[in-house]
């Protein structure tokens, strides 16, 4: 298991949402809707004999340009805790991330609002994801 395996597992799970792009790197010129996967923290030795490491990721979802009429409705669909467009449901659809993890949980959504990238304003939200792995 590697951090790249965990990122790829998260991207694979997110790809189950129709029309959503994923990126394991921060893109220079994002094309929404896109989920950007970033590693935030790593907690080592969480079980005996180095038995578990906890990885915390932030997934930033850029729903659309903030000026679009349906931007908020799109982001609301992604933020719902169930349904075909639910980020939480998609990420937790394969709790092992293709065999790379023991478990994965989406623990919260935050920063619902606009974000500026370059000269473009997007409607976005951050999702906190905890992965338990070797």
60 φ, ψ (degrees, to nearest 5):
-95, 120
Residue 99 CB neighbour total at 10 angstroms: 9
33 cis-preceded (ω within 30 degrees of 0): yes
Residue 100's closest CA among 67, 61, 133? Answer: 133
| pLDDT of 29 | 83
pLDDT 10s digit of each residue in the chain, 134 long?
Answer: 799 999 999 999 999 999 999 999 888 888 999 999 999 999 997 767 777 999 999 999 999 988 788 889 999 999 999 999 999 999 999 999 999 999 999 999 999 999 988 788 999 999 999 999 98
- Domain of residue 91 covers 3-133
Distance CA 110, CA 26 (A): 19
| pLDDT of 106 | 98
| pLDDT of 83 | 93
| pLDDT of 58 | 97
| pLDDT of 65 | 87
Place of tokens 């639910």: 86
Token pair of 20 as six digits: 């959503």
User: Going by C-beta distance under 8 Å and a sequence separation of 6 or more, which residues neighbour residue 22?
Assistant: 10, 11, 14, 15, 34, 35, 36, 37
Q: What is the CATH number of the domain that holds 126?
A: 3.30.2000.30
| pLDDT of 13 | 98
As beta bridge partners, residue 62 has 34, 124
Buried-exposed string 19-48: b where 16+ CB fall within 10 A, e elsewhere: ebbbbbeeeeebebbbbbbeeeeeeeeeee
Domain tally, the chain: 1
| pLDDT of 24 | 92
| pLDDT of 41 | 97
Distance CA 109, CA 99 (A): 25
As beta bridge partners, residue 133 has 53
């Amino acid at each position: 298991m590697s951090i790249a395996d965990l990122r790829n597992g998260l991207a694979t799970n997110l790809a189950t949402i129709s029309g959503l792009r994923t990126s394991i790197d921060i893109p220079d010129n994002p094309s929404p809707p896109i989920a950007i996967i970033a590693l935030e923290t790593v907690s080592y030795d969480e079980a005996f004999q180095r038995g578990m490491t906890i990885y915390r990721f932030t997934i930033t979802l850029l729903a659309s340009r903030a000026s679009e009429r349906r931007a908020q409705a799109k982001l609301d669909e992604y933020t719902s805790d169930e349904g075909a467009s639910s980020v939480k449901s998609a990420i937790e659809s394969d709790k092992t991330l293709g065999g790379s993890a023991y478990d994965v949980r989406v623990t919260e959504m935050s920063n619902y609002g606009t974000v500026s990238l370059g000269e473009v304003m997007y409607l976005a939200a951050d999702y906190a994801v905890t992965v338990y792995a070797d």
